[in-house]
Structure 1
Amino acid sequence: MFSFVIYALLMAATYCLVRGISDLRQQRYIWAAAGLLIGIISIGILFLPIETHAVSIGPLNS
């Protein structure tokens, strides 16, 4: 399940980057900026650490 989400996000980011470059070459600057920005943000999300468990350090009430 988790790897499916990673692959889906990677494919979406790749599509946005390719579409952004295509729009840039066709001089559609607003769509190009949107595609490139979303692609870069999507790739940035892939590098965020995902918290899998909580670790408690000592008692809460001391």
Structure 2
Amino acid sequence: MVLVVSELVANALVHGSGTYTLRLRAHPNVIEVAAEDPSPTLPRMRTPDLIDGTGGFG
């Protein structure tokens, strides 16, 4: 989970406006993790870049 949160925060910083909200919620059998930035632009699907390592996995 630490890796997931780290990647989520890194993506928010790199692709967002520089500010973000990170929410962690504990439920009996699940931990919910969410990041939000103020950008009105929705995320887009892209094919992961396996050659140049420019991302696309998030």
Q: Which has the higher strand share?
A: 2
Query: Which structure: larger Rg?
Result: 1
Q: Does 1 or 2 have the higher relative contact order (CA < 8 Å, sep 6+)?
A: 1
Q: Which has the higher helix share?
A: 1
